[in-house]
Amino acid sequence: MKIELTPKQRESRESFRAFAEREIAPHADQYDESEQIPSDLIEKLALQGYLGAVLPERNGGMGLDMITCGLLNEEVGRACSSVRSLLTVHGMVTLVLQRWGSAEQKETWLPQLASGARIAAFGLTEANVGSDAKSVETTATLSGNSYLLNGRKKWITFGQIADVFLIFAQSEGKPTAFLVERKTPGLVINPIRGMLGVRGSMLAELHLEDCCISRSNLVGQVNFGFSHVAATALDYGRYSVAWGCVGIGQACLEACLRYTNVRRQFGAFLREHQLIQQMLTEMITNVKAARLLCYQAGYLKDARDLRAITETSIAKYFASRMAFKAANDAVQIHGANGCSREYSVQRYLRDAKIMEIIEGSTQMQQINIARYACQEETSWQ
């Protein structure tokens, strides 16, 4: 066993970090405050190829292995969770099309999504449907060679700017996925503002009223929308979020190491106080542990190992809880400063809370991980 990045992976990480430090981190608090990501940053992400990170080179992507893809999500997430969430949802839809799209869908969409010419968003959640995703209320009715979609989608990340949506609806009572372009008549997009965290992720509510799409926009097959299409997307989403959480934890740690080296109380630097040392130690250990779980999940994904799905859930579960604790302690260490806009740790805390809710809440991960362990009782280790 050798847990070490290859020289190419190390080089990629340095390049991701340099980009994030230069183009994202200095502006992340502003994105949070203005609740938007500027289009020129998205163009820069596209130019780097990051929007096609998950796709093979034959589809116009970067062809990154899953570990390197994880490193990209960590470094972007360390700078700004909102920007990382663009990589997440765009990647989710892109991967779904590569995995379950028709030949025509692949030919039409993959090059455009890989290059960032078009932005994709994931439309599963509704006002009444979150964790119980199979029960979406949006309907799709086949009429001749078209589907008519009716319903409302809520909390759709980057819904404000996406060019195409992967929408989940019931077709004759069966969960099914469809591609819906922004320009489709009957699709109305309303921005959602004032969220607690990941405030730059440009959420939207989608109203679909007799939204007419071609039958060829069906993704996968009828009745496979949840079990295969959404499952493929969410598996990648959890992987991306898990790494993003490692990034949040790392950002918290670095902020605390900086602060405790300059802040003095009772005649000594904070770093010399043992109760501060305790929080730093917890943070250091937990960030490392979360990163190792992400490495494990990435390794299994690259190996196409059957355990990869659950190991990704475990990584997401641990990393999101870790990020929240690290951010909570980071604010505690920073005291009143940590509660002010002058320090980014307050943003990290608000963003980290969201991580425990999206792509399967902490409680859903607990249910799924325990079920899997019981199912695999004889081989679990």
Partner 1 sequence: MDEQKAKVRTFLSKHLRNHELSDEDDIFGLGFVNSLFAMQLVMFVEQEFGITIDNEDLDIENFRTVNTIVKLVEKKAATLAEA
Binding flag, residue 311, partner 1 (CB under 8 A): no
H-state helical runs in the chain: 7-19, 28-34, 39-48, 66-79, 81-100, 103-115, 231-262, 274-302, 308-338, 345-355, 362-375
- How many Å separate Cα 162 from the centre of its chain? 15
Among 50, 122, 168, 226, binds partner 1 (CB under 8 A): 226
Helix 274-302 and helix 231-262, axial crossing angle in degrees, nearest 10: 150
| Residue 230: C-alpha distances to residues 28, 83, 150, 184, 226 (Å) | 30, 22, 19, 22, 5
Binders of partner 1 among residues 340 to 379 (CB under 8 A) are 368, 371-372, 375-376, 378-379
- Structural tokens at position 285: 């250990």
Among 15, 108, 141, 223, binds partner 1 (CB under 8 A): 223
Rg of the Cα trace of the chain? 21
Stretch that binds partner 1, among 7-15, 248-256, 305-313, 322-330 (CB under 8 A): 305-313
Among 309, 315, 323, 326, binds partner 1 (CB under 8 A): 309
Place of tokens 């039409």: 108
- Structural tokens at position 182: 């922004």
Binding flag, residue 304, partner 1 (CB under 8 A): yes
**In the complex, what is the shortest distance from the CB of residue 127 to partner 1, in angstroms, rounded to a whole number?**
23
Among 227, 265, 285, 363, binds partner 1 (CB under 8 A): 227
**In the complex, what is the shortest distance from the CB of residue 134 to partner 1, in angstroms, rounded to a whole number?**
8
Among 52, 70, 77, 101, binds partner 1 (CB under 8 A): 101
Closer CB to partner 1, 49 or 360, in the complex: 360
Closer CB to partner 1, 79 or 95, in the complex: 95
> Is-contact 242 312, C-beta < 8 A?
yes
Closer CB to partner 1, 219 or 283, in the complex: 219
- CA 98 – CA 10 distance, rounded (Å): 27
> Is-contact 31 37, C-beta < 8 A?
yes
- CA 65 – CA 146 distance, rounded (Å): 38
Q: Is 377 helix (H, G, I), strand (E, B) or coil?
A: coil
Binding flag, residue 220, partner 1 (CB under 8 A): yes
Binding flag, residue 147, partner 1 (CB under 8 A): no
Binding flag, residue 158, partner 1 (CB under 8 A): no
Closer CB to partner 1, 27 or 307, in the complex: 307
Of the candidates 23, 74, 311, 359, the residue annotated as catalytic is 359
Closer CB to partner 1, 189 or 231, in the complex: 231
Binding flag, residue 100, partner 1 (CB under 8 A): yes
Stretch that binds partner 1, among 62-70, 220-228, 253-261, 351-359 (CB under 8 A): 220-228
Closer CB to partner 1, 226 or 259, in the complex: 226
**In the complex, what is the shortest distance from the CB of residue 380 to partner 1, in angstroms, rounded to a whole number?**
12
Helix 7-19 and helix 66-79, axial crossing angle in degrees, nearest 10: 20
Binding flag, residue 107, partner 1 (CB under 8 A): no
Q: What is the DSSP string of 108-168?
A: HHHHHHHHTSS-EEEE---SS-SS-GGG---EEEEETTEEEEEEEEEEETTTTT-SEEEEE
Closer CB to partner 1, 339 or 364, in the complex: 364
Nearby residues of 332 by Cβ (< 8 Å), 6 or more positions away? 279, 338
Place of tokens 């990154």: 64
**In the complex, what is the shortest distance from the CB of residue 227 to partner 1, in angstroms, rounded to a whole number?**
4
**In the complex, what is the shortest distance from the CB of residue 42 to partner 1, in angstroms, rounded to a whole number?**
29
**In the complex, what is the shortest distance from the CB of residue 346 to partner 1, in angstroms, rounded to a whole number?**
37
Asked if 4 is an active-site residue, the reply is no
- CA 143 – CA 359 distance, rounded (Å): 33
Residues labelled catalytic: 359
Residues that bind partner 1 (CB under 8 A): 100-102, 220-221, 223-224, 226-228, 230-232, 235, 304, 306, 308-310, 368, 371-372, 375-376, 378-379
